[in-house]
Structure 1
């Protein structure tokens, strides 16, 4: 068998291996899935979003804690400049009253002198100058006028919105990693083409060298082949640069070591659109809807400022000795707080929150319009990529047949070396164009899955 035919068949075998087999839309290379999961774990934006969601959970706990009783322990010591007492006339009146009560008790006449052997009680101070107090207070909100419940619901919807934003961010990260991985596969496919082209050129150099020795070709033919070798070396350098750059991109996105990334041998696998006719609401839209609900509850929370609030108040003194004559040892009571007019602050806050919800509604409508447009664009791109793949496959058949024919003509001195090189270049371009077409197919399908909200990884 002709050596050229052997090499051509080997080349076609390599290309056939490199060409993708069709898989279902949701099927990904396990290596790619692992890179995506590592990228999701590494993302600083996702970590920030997770912290924001946890803060919303704390806000919910704060709203619930409004109805928990607040217990406060108090302690104090105060020294006055003097004891607080009644004025002298009042003290004299109280002493005279005490004497009358005692005389009546022992049976003495009203006008009789008071016996000197009977002691009298001193008039107590209203407040001793040394005051030591220790007490406990209870404050318990029984009804917040729906302010706490509206705050709770607003925080719940905010948390849900942040969770949906996290899912949307995950989709973006996954798309970036898939694209970088596919580009690396495309670069690897170009390497296969370059290796095969190098083998072809070496074979042609061998035949040209023999032809020159036999006087059947001129040194100019060898120089043309040397130029083709330089052009091929330039393409190989471009491959090296692209390979390094894509490894750096994947390293930055996933945190995977460069050494492991260099070992990757990804292959382009075409997606099928079977089973992705359904469309689900995008996470971005869900996040906006939840944010809209949160702002509506914020508006209700501001309005509820005018609803009466009910609370219980309690107090207990542990030390009785230093209490004044007017201080109770303990008390408990219930009260109502009714904000009738707050200078329009609640009304303005409610209006501001309502306007914010209207902004979210406009953003939802805009997002839905953009999503519909992106679905149409992705579908058209996919159809164009499919059609281009069919065309390129025909180009490959034609390029292979042409090369085989021109090579035979050249061996029989019926064609020039330029014709052979042009035919070889057409084979190289056609096979790489097919890889590019599959790359475009995958990009279109990935974008379609993302636009329809059914991208999974």
Structure 2
């Protein structure tokens, strides 16, 4: 038998409804908070969102790497079918020129024969047929026309948007786990009612048997008791099934072992929310705003395609022997790339991206309107839940008073034991109804805190 201290209950309700609740968050059990964190770490949507945010970080690094010099080492070997040389006339001309230079150097007349004892230098090939090359190239972008800087800003805002979306997913997971946890507490609270009803039916069965023996009742009354016992057995089976399903749901959401979840003893407590708390900007709105900024910077990046780009290029050959007569050993230079007309592709891409930003702006305004409506709805639901708890409190007071009165009458032989058991059963049902009101109150409190962007855990 469970008795209720009416004075303590009144004090509890007065504290719940009238006292200022300075904290924005619910007072959650440590076990529930632990389950929430485990559920958030396990959730696939949150993990995928985090990976996308890391991809945005990589995009920023890629954009920054545009300004880093690119150094490339090259090596190759080529064999031609033959050496590349001057034609015969050019070679003869070069040899004749060489002879004139030598005769002039030794003081021989122009038309005198060339001495046989002086060797001539062979005319070098333009390119030997065996070509071995080893070189290094340098490419260094000095100015990207603001494309890289705008790409970095776009990626940063995209990353921030994804982080806010991750917070939204975390809130959804937290709400789902809190609801499952509270349902488990409500199921466990119903066990007391089932136990009381079971004891009540056993007492009724005993007195019905005695009454039938004394001719004060008929077998129909006994069949009514048997039917009630079968209905109770069905409710007990339903309780076991619901308990198993909730444990399985929490296991799926959090990854916690079923054995540890079975040991949980959740309890429903009244929850108070300060209705005057200011509305915080929801993470959904923040995510859309950051996505809008990202698209605006992306549009700028695409439009900047017409700004000239400046870069430096360098080249150095490590092996000189196989270079042709026309190949330089090294060179360095600066260049400008200026796209004058690209078939309107950059302009159209920029326009398309700006239209995307306008879509985000429309979603922001629509979301603000829906959130404002959800706040009003949540506040009304919360106030109704509080009022319902007050009504249930009165029902408990009436059930307790009735039980005390009937119990006194029974002690003075003015009431039967059945009347006492009926009154006790009413007390248990009223207490379970209070647990249901707490459950609804916590649901509406969570919805209100979430609507106001003030759900903390």
Structure 1 length-normalised TM: 0.91
| Alpha-carbon shift at residue 74 of structure 1 (Å) | 0.7
What secondary structure, in the 3-state scheme, does the structure 2 residue paired with 1:319 have? Answer: coil
Contact 1:60 1:151 survives alignment (8 Å) = yes
| Alpha-carbon shift at residue 406 of structure 1 (Å) | 5.8
C-alpha spacing 1:13/1:190, structure 2 compared with 1 (3 Å): farther
Structure 1 segment 213-292 matched on structure 2, within 5 A: 213-274=213-274, 277-292=277-292
User: Using the alignment, how far apart are the partners of 2:393 and 2:222 within structure 1?
Assistant: 32
What secondary structure, in the 3-state scheme, does the structure 2 residue paired with 1:31 have? Answer: helix
User: Using the alignment, how far apart are the partners of 1:452 and 1:191 within structure 2?
Assistant: 35
- Give deviations 1:244-269, integer Å, cap 9, x for gaps: 11111111101111111111110001
- Note the aligned Cα RMSD (angstroms): 2.6
What's the counterpart of residue 126 of structure 1? 126
What's the counterpart of residue 203 of structure 1? 203
What's the counterpart of residue 390 of structure 1? 390
| Alpha-carbon shift at residue 343 of structure 1 (Å) | 0.8
What's the counterpart of residue 4 of structure 2? 12
| Alpha-carbon shift at residue 216 of structure 1 (Å) | 4.5
| Alpha-carbon shift at residue 228 of structure 1 (Å) | 2.7
User: Using the alignment, how far apart are the partners of 2:207 and 2:403 within structure 1?
Assistant: 16
- Give deviations 1:406-436, integer Å, cap 9, x for gaps: 6777899988999777656544432222111
User: Using the alignment, how far apart are the partners of 1:393 and 1:205 within structure 2?
Assistant: 32
Contact 1:276 1:454 survives alignment (8 Å) = no
Structure 1 segment 351-370 matched on structure 2, within 5 A: 351-370=351-370
Tell me if 1:55 matches 2:47: no
User: Using the alignment, how far apart are the partners of 1:315 and 1:154 within structure 2?
Assistant: 34
What's the counterpart of residue 330 of structure 1? 330
User: Using the alignment, how far apart are the partners of 1:230 and 1:398 within structure 2?
Assistant: 30
Structure 1 segment 111-122 matched on structure 2, within 5 A: 111-122=111-122
Contact 1:137 1:313 survives alignment (8 Å) = yes
User: Using the alignment, how far apart are the partners of 1:365 and 1:213 within structure 2?
Assistant: 77
Contact 2:196 2:425 survives alignment (8 Å) = no
- Give deviations 1:165-217, integer Å, cap 9, x for gaps: 11110000000000000000011111112212223333344444444445544
What's the counterpart of residue 93 of structure 1? 93
What's the counterpart of residue 4 of structure 1? none
What secondary structure, in the 3-state scheme, does the structure 1 residue paired with 2:4 have? Answer: helix
- Give deviations 1:366-402, integer Å, cap 9, x for gaps: 1111111111111111100011111111122223334
Structure 2 length-normalised TM: 0.91
What's the counterpart of residue 456 of structure 2? 456
What's the counterpart of residue 377 of structure 1? 377
What secondary structure, in the 3-state scheme, does the structure 1 residue paired with 2:256 have? Answer: coil
What secondary structure, in the 3-state scheme, does the structure 1 residue paired with 2:81 have? Answer: coil
Contact 1:221 1:417 survives alignment (8 Å) = no
Contact 1:182 1:439 survives alignment (8 Å) = yes
User: Using the alignment, how far apart are the partners of 1:438 and 1:204 within structure 2?
Assistant: 32
Structure 1 stretch displaced more, 403-412 or 129-138: 403-412
- Specify every segment of 5 or more residues in structure 1 that has no aligned partner in the other structure, as ranges: 1-6
- Give deviations 1:296-343, integer Å, cap 9, x for gaps: 111011011100000000000001011111110000000000000111
Contact 1:11 1:196 survives alignment (8 Å) = no
What's the counterpart of residue 443 of structure 2? 443
What's the counterpart of residue 176 of structure 1? 176
Tell me if 1:105 matches 2:105: yes
What's the counterpart of residue 3 of structure 1? none
User: Using the alignment, how far apart are the partners of 2:106 and 2:220 within structure 1?
Assistant: 151
What's the counterpart of residue 75 of structure 1? 75
| Alpha-carbon shift at residue 121 of structure 1 (Å) | 1.1
How many residue pairs were aligned? Answer: 447
| Alpha-carbon shift at residue 274 of structure 1 (Å) | 3.0
| Alpha-carbon shift at residue 450 of structure 1 (Å) | 1.0
What's the counterpart of residue 135 of structure 1? 135
- Give deviations 1:117-171, integer Å, cap 9, x for gaps: 1111111111111111110000000000001111111111111111111111000
Structure 1 stretch displaced more, 398-407 or 71-80: 398-407
What's the counterpart of residue 148 of structure 1? 148
Contact 1:193 1:428 survives alignment (8 Å) = yes
Structure 1 stretch displaced more, 211-220 or 325-334: 211-220
What's the counterpart of residue 348 of structure 2? 348
